[in-house]
Amino acid sequence: MNKFVFFICVVTLSLAAHGAVHKPNIIYILADDLGYGDVHALNPEQGKIPTPGMDRLAKQGMVFTDAHSSSSVCTPTRYGVLTGRYNWRSRLQSGVLHGLDQPLIASDRLTVAGLLKQQGYNTAIVGKWHLGLGLQKPDGTPTKGKATANQGADWKARITGGPVDLGFDSWYGIAASLDMPPYIFIENDRFVGEATEIKEFYPKRKGPAAPGFEAAEVLDIIGQKSAEYIGRQTKDKPFFMYIPLTSPHTPILPSPKWQGKSELGVYGDFVMHTDSVVGRITAAVDASNFADNTMIIVTSDNGCSKVADGARGSKGGVEFLKEQGHYPNGRYRGSKSDIWDGGHRVPFIVRWPAGVKAGSSSDEIICLTDLMATCAELTGARLPDHAGEDSVSFAPALLGKPMVSTLKGVVHHSVSGRFAYREGKWKILLTNGSGGWTKETMADDSPAQLYDMEADPGEQKNLYESHPEVFNRLLAQLESDVKRGRSTAGPDQRNDVENINTSRGMKRR
């Protein structure tokens, strides 16, 4: 028996010793644009927004302080969460999908939901999908791109390529973000009604909407539907629930109950509203007879956006919040879209009374792609070679033990397709700037960046010129991970796109 297999056996026995002898229920709450510093428990000195719901989960469970989304924007991160595979191995090399785009996840690719369904789980999603759907026009041809006032879909046709075709038993939610039409709910594989009206919830995002659909009501509907689903479950069969929230992403629309509560503007109010929904979901679990063996994970798809709170303040959204003493991305440089840590270091809280020590923390470097391998280990499943190629189990960390992995480093990716690579304390960035929407470059003429994240978590001192051997070693590892079609041990796989250029952008922006 090799050391890795032996360690997995030890972890499995340890989980059993902690009372996790049954497959845990798993609830994965994915906030939208919630920064690491927005959760007060993670940023007590510079976090000014009360978040009692998430703080309570942190106190009752484990906080991962070095967790990262696989991308600094929405769609690609969601791809990684559900497939355990980096998005840039797919056709999506930069940017995000729009409301009428076709499915990004291949129909034959195993998802976390599909894996858990094979292990006897009920599987459900409530919330935002944003991974493309097999929609069609009234003439039967596939839709593509943005829904507009003049472009919609066949509202009566069956929707293919969505959650219920990819391992989920049920879905209630919306196609994409609330600033991307169509504005209409979907249940399983059908639209709820027809989008016969035109609405606009965000400037220049006018499009088809169902009568009665209001963006400001969606977050609470997600909370309500989630609580109702949890209330229908029993102790006899495990369940997996994926809850991708629509907040605090634009349009920033806190309900009247939360308006003015934070004293930091509408973004602060919306974060509090978001936290209340997390609290409502937690309360539904606590009211059940299976709370002890239910794992609740709360995280975010990327860092806080620069447009948080609109254009208030002398320098825009995030800067307005900082002027009030609130640092939404904590001490980390950059924000949503950027390759600096502010773009992709995210909150990651795990509460699981049967398996996780209350009030604990872990500084292990994890990525949101790791859900797949973690679920496999917790349920005793074996991942096939062509699934979860970039996924590593963090189950050992839940017990306070070191993670053992064949993966050398974690890949980060920006909205424009720029790469970064993290191994231990070292991080390289293959661009001279942010790789995203932050209009800022390095003061020197270095074509790339290298940081010691232990000594310089704010990424201020570029060591590219002084440590070329470190940069070259990490670059070689990144290029190998890209070329092999996987970053974990196993047979090489094929990327959907050949000749991926990791060094794209290694020059002044």
Query: Which is nearest to 462 in space by CA: 72, 334, 471, 506?
Result: 471
**3-state SS, residue 388:** coil
Q: Which of 413, 454, 456, 407 is nearest to 435 (CA)?
A: 413
Sign of the CA dihedral running 218, 223, 224, 228: positive
Residue 3 has pLDDT above 50, yes or no: no
Beta strands 294-300 and 25-31 are parallel
Strands (E) in 140-259, as ranges, are: 170-174, 186-187, 190-191, 197-199, 207-209, 239-244
Residue-wise pLDDT for 211-227, tens only, equals 999 999 999 999 999 99
Q: How far is the C-alpha of 172 from the C-alpha of 259, rounded, in Å?
A: 27
Q: Is there a contact between 99 and 207 (Cβ–Cβ < 8 Å)?
A: yes
Token output for 6: 């032996």
Over residues 313-361, the pLDDT tens digits come to 445 578 889 989 999 999 999 999 999 999 999 999 999 999 999 999 9
CA 165/CA 188 separation, integer angstroms: 9
The chain-wide mean pLDDT, for the chain, equals 93
Helix (H, G, I), strand (E, B) or coil at 115: helix
Rounded CA separation 297/63 (Å): 10
d(CA 242, CA 29): 6
Residue 316: per-residue pLDDT: 56
Phi, psi of 148 (to 5 degrees): -130, 180
Choice among 22-26, 208-212, 314-318, 407-411 with the minimum mean pLDDT:
314-318
Q: Kind and range of the H or E element at 27?
A: strand 25-31
**Residue-wise pLDDT tens digits, 454-468:** 999 999 999 999 999
410-483 CATH choice from 2.40.37.20, 3.50.4.10, 3.30.413.10, 3.30.1120.10: 3.30.1120.10
Res 386 pLDDT > 80: yes
Instruction: Indicate if the pLDDT at residue 403 is higher than 50.
Output: yes
Q: Is the pLDDT of residue 20 over 50?
A: no
Residue 320 is predicted with a pLDDT of 86
What's the predicted TM-score (pTM) here?
A: 0.95
Rounded to the nearest 10 degrees, the angle between the axes of helix 266-286 and helix 52-60 is 50
Identity of the amino acid at 49: I
With H, G, I as helix, E, B as strand and everything else as coil, classify residue 28: strand
pLDDT band for position 405 (cuts 50, 70, 90): confident
Name which of 367, 365, 376 is nearest 403 in CA terms. Answer: 365
* Confidence tier at 16 by pLDDT (50, 70, 90): very low
Q: According to the 3-state scheme, what is the secondary structure of 423-479?
A: ECCEEEECCCECCCCCCCECCCCCCCEEEECCCCCCCCCCCCCCCHHHHHHHHHHHH
- Among all chains, which residue has been given the structure tokens 């970064």? 420
Q: What is the DSSP string of 223-244?
A: HHHHHHHHHH--TTS-EEEEEE
Q: Is-contact 62 362, C-beta < 8 A?
A: yes
Residue 307 binned pLDDT confidence (cut-offs 50, 70, 90): confident
Q: Tell me the per-residue pLDDT of 76-94, one tens digit each, with 9 for 90 and over.
A: 999 999 999 999 999 999 9
Q: How confident is the model at residue 10 (pLDDT cuts 50, 70, 90)?
A: very low
How far apart are the C-alpha atoms of 438 and 170, rounded to whole Å?
A: 39
Dihedral angle over CA of 13, 15, 21, 25, nearest 10? -150
Phi-psi region of 65 (alpha: psi -120 to 50; beta: other; left: phi over 0): alpha
Which pLDDT value is given to residue 8? Answer: 41
**Span 195-203, mean pLDDT?**
96
HSE of 436 in the Cβ direction (CA atoms, 13 Å)?
30
DSSP string, 338-384: -SSGGGTB--EEEE-TTTS-TTEEEEEEEEGGGHHHHHHHHHT----
CB 415 within 8 A of CB 73: yes
Percentage of the chain lying above the pLDDT 70 cut: 93
Nearest to 96 by CA among 122, 124, 126, 76: 76
Architecture field, domain 3-176+214-398 = 3-Layer(aba) Sandwich (3.40)
Q: Look at residue 312 and tell me whether its pLDDT is greater than 70.
A: no
Token pair in block for residue 185: 């709910």
CA gap 101, 362 in Å, rounded? 38
Give me the torsion for CA of 432, 436, 440, 442, rounded to 10°: -20
Q: How far apart are CA 401 and CA 152, in angstroms?
A: 51
Q: What is the DSSP letter of 412?
A: E
Q: Is pLDDT larger for residue 445 or for residue 37?
A: 37
The structural domains of the chain, with segments of one domain joined by +, span: 3-176+214-398, 410-483
